[in-house]
Structure 1
């Protein structure tokens, strides 16, 4: 009997230790992924790539940016892009145009830059004034110079898992996941947001075949949007191994919605008024402080996806300079017009 009592005590002690281990693990906060640190790695790789390219006798890559209007956020984004280009060794120019520029004038400028052999990468900063159709403008940029990856040909090639100019923000999300070592094969992924420039491309990159020309993540991806009922969003989030929040809604994803250990990538950029200071501050779509106590990985806002977007844009500019993607002009015109 004494032996049995001793054995029971040992079992109770070991169960208590297991319980303690689970409790401490659940209290451990998520790994905060530094987009700035990862972007620095990519910029260092890009700088070395540019230096080798120029040492081999090639012309230094050049990026042209068209900026329409006086949107402060757009000016800030463009400044970040040109600073990154200078740091990497890419020459750049910013072409400023007044808000009242006509669509025809803007198209003429794009056509001129398309045919300028000194321009490798070309982007038109979005958003544009209401009187200009963004899709028309995106399709006017030559696909081989389209460093934003928004031309219909580049979007189509991405959807077919072919080598192309990937949109910088989705590519940045992909690189965060890959470089952090977050597994995607066979995993459940929730992408909250269906925009054609962010949500949809992220879903394409994560669900497609990992053995194709442009390898994908082999994940099972669910896309939600503004008309997804809150309770359904919660149900999808609770089974997701990876959540990518890209809806532009503050506090869309909260701690009670996610499963323990999930990787949460916050793409949202929202300006809200700080209740303490009364000043505007940037927040994402995720309740960062709450979710970090339950997630396995999380990206902050700012300092998460944003720096990666700029870094991937630089990679696309180098790709354009090397003429990695060459498209027959006639086929491009037909695709853009259809």
Structure 2
């Protein structure tokens, strides 16, 4: 059922994008992607995937490499002034030579070019469409599941869980809890047993289903045993039945494509 919901949402997002794209068939919106972490394989792989999908929907991705704080600030300012650029993405995680706090970096992007809605002014926005891209996809899927479920957020990252948790907690449709690396092991185990749905932090897509639980994890790692989720070990060992790679990526990419075309249409 979960995979079917994801594919349905992907279809809805792309249909909206196609409708706008056909309306402006002679135009090619430009999306600037800033990579501060050139040697990080997952970041590079994720950017390549974004570029591939954006190009298929007549969006021109342009990747900019920067290597220090000064270059990063100057590049964002330059792209803010460039009228050809519809959207700006600063790829997370940042490189080791970037010392500016993440939120300060995201706040440098102009409000009308912040496709991922990571600026501070979106933090308490009530519109779910102004959640970060991955959070928005997860929000739509979770809200199509049975209400009154207990949702546990593993991790408090700015690009995914933190904003999604605040939104869902505020709405009160689900009983929500959030934990981070400082949460005691005993509490983590207790909360995992308590939960019906677990949302693990962000990264490359993966979905896992547990017996009696659903785990949404956009993050994977490779081990000697193959590909598995980069989840808390306690969670990973909870009676896993099967896993499917590539689910949440469909939500993220399709939401990105939809947002870029909407930004172009309504700019």
Task: Name the counterpart of 2:146.
Answer: 183
CA distance in structure 2 between the aligned counterparts of 1:143 and 1:163, rounded to whole angstroms: 17
Cα 1:96/1:120, change in 2 over 3 Å: same
State which of 54, 65, 70 in structure 2 corresponds to 1:96. 65
Q: Is the 8 A contact 2:135 2:164 kept in 1?
A: yes
Q: Is the 8 A contact 2:14 2:254 kept in 1?
A: no
Q: Does 2:111 match 1:143?
A: yes
* TM-score, with structure 2 as normaliser: 0.81
Once the 2 structures are TM-superposed, how far is the Cα of residue 36 of structure 1 from its aligned partner? 7.0
State which of 190, 193, 202 in structure 2 corresponds to 1:235. 190
Q: Is the 8 A contact 1:67 1:125 kept in 2?
A: yes
Secondary structure of 1:223's counterpart equals: strand
Cα 1:153/1:50, change in 2 over 3 Å: same
CA distance in structure 2 between the aligned counterparts of 1:193 and 1:95, rounded to whole angstroms: 29
The structure in which a higher percent of residues are strand is: 2
CA distance in structure 2 between the aligned counterparts of 1:221 and 1:120, rounded to whole angstroms: 35
Q: Is the 8 A contact 1:63 1:120 kept in 2?
A: yes
Q: CA RMSD in A?
A: 3.0
CA distance in structure 1 between the aligned counterparts of 2:181 and 2:49, rounded to whole angstroms: 30
Q: Is the 8 A contact 1:35 1:303 kept in 2?
A: no
Once the 2 structures are TM-superposed, how far is the Cα of residue 83 of structure 1 from its aligned partner? 0.9
Unmatched tracts of structure 1, length 5 or more? 1-30, 210-216, 275-279, 294-299, 325-338
State which of 209, 220, 227 in structure 2 corresponds to 1:269. 220
Secondary structure of 1:310's counterpart equals: helix
Moved over 6 A (4+): none
Once the two structures are superposed, the pairs formed by residues 220-259 of structure 1 within 5 Å of their partners are 220-246=175-201
Unmatched tracts of structure 2, length 5 or more? none
- The CA deviation string for residues 162-209 of structure 1, in whole angstroms up to 9 with x for no partner, is 46632112112123324xx3123x332111211122221221232233
Once the 2 structures are TM-superposed, how far is the Cα of residue 224 of structure 1 from its aligned partner? 1.4
* TM-score, with structure 1 as normaliser: 0.66
Q: Does 2:156 match 1:194?
A: yes
Task: Name the counterpart of 2:81.
Answer: 115
CA distance in structure 2 between the aligned counterparts of 1:50 and 1:160, rounded to whole angstroms: 25
CA distance in structure 2 between the aligned counterparts of 1:322 and 1:247, rounded to whole angstroms: 29
CA distance in structure 2 between the aligned counterparts of 1:80 and 1:67, rounded to whole angstroms: 14
Cα 1:291/1:281, change in 2 over 3 Å: closer
Q: Does 2:252 match 1:309?
A: yes
